[in-house]
Amino acid sequence: MSDTLGTVVTEALKMRDELKAGGLDGHALNQALEAVLRDSWPKPKDRTEPWHDACANCRDYGLEMLWCPGDATCGPNLVTKAPRPKHGAHEFGKPCWCPKGQRFREKQAPTPDDAETMAAKRKPMSRWGR
């Protein structure tokens, strides 16, 4: 069999039709089709071990999901920074320490040195800014 997915599926369906014509039906036919597909499906050349997350804390999403029972475990209000009153139980996310969590961490406010550096960089003129 060829290694393209289309030809693998086409050949597997042909084999399924042959098995069906031979008298196989129902659950046994589905199991036979699954076995044929598993045997003939192209195997990845670079992956020999099962998938695993790079970060077990956030499962490569960037947020560690935690549970707040309603006693303000989730921290202060993000907008007003005031303590939260008692509220309902819920799940909340905290930025993870891994690189994927970088997008959820607070960004540092620019310093005056950053403003001078940005002002010193010349920006290319756009079509509308001539």
Q: Which of 10-14, 15-19, 102-106 reaches the highest mean pLDDT?
A: 102-106
Domain ranges of the chain: 5-40, 63-104
How confident is the model over 51-105, as pLDDT tens digits?
788 899 999 999 999 999 988 888 888 788 888 888 899 999 999 999 999 999 8
Distance in angstroms (rounded) separating the CA atoms of residues 50 and 82: 46
Inter-residue contact 31 to 25 (CB < 8 Å): no
pLDDT at residue 67, as a whole number: 92
How confident is the model over 20-59, as pLDDT tens digits?
888 877 888 888 888 878 877 767 666 667 778 889 999 9
Band (pLDDT 50/70/90 cuts) for residue 1 is: very low
Q: Residue 93: beta bridge partners? A: 65
Q: Residue 67: beta bridge partners? A: 91
Distance in angstroms (rounded) separating the CA atoms of residues 9 and 125: 54
Q: Give me the phi and psi of 6, to 5 degrees please.
A: -60, -45
Q: Give me the phi and psi of 64, to 5 degrees please.
A: -85, 120
- Using the 8-state DSSP alphabet, how is residue 62 labeled? S
Q: Which of 67, 56, 54 is closest to 93 using CA atoms?
A: 67
Distance in angstroms (rounded) separating the CA atoms of residues 34 and 25: 13
